Amino acid sequence: MPFLRCLYGAMYASYALTVALGVAVFILCHIFFDPSMWDIIIALTITLVLGSPMILRVSRIMWMNIFIKYDPEKRGANLK
């Protein structure tokens, strides 16, 4: 079950990307606007809900690239 281990690891990478995106949105809100607490909560919620599919895919790809090495000899083996 190496794929399941990859998904568990991708959860940690997803958490890190989500925190980084949330901090970035928070800082950008404070630089360009003078937001209230509810404005920040709404901005974070919209950003994280719309960005979650991208974050999940990028985190899975990032985690796989760390531990699964590309082997050009195996490329297309399933296609033949």
Q: What angle do CA 40, 46, 51 make, to 5 degrees?
A: 120
Which residue, chain included where needed, has tokens 């531990």?
67
**Each residue's pLDDT tens digit, 27-54:** 999 999 888 999 999 999 999 999 999 9
User: Considering the entire predicted model, what is its pTM?
Assistant: 0.75
pLDDT more than 90, % of the chain:
49
Question: When comparing pLDDT for 80 and 49, which is higher?
Answer: 49
Domain ranges for the chain, please list them: 2-69
- C-alpha span between 62 and 65 (Å, rounded): 5
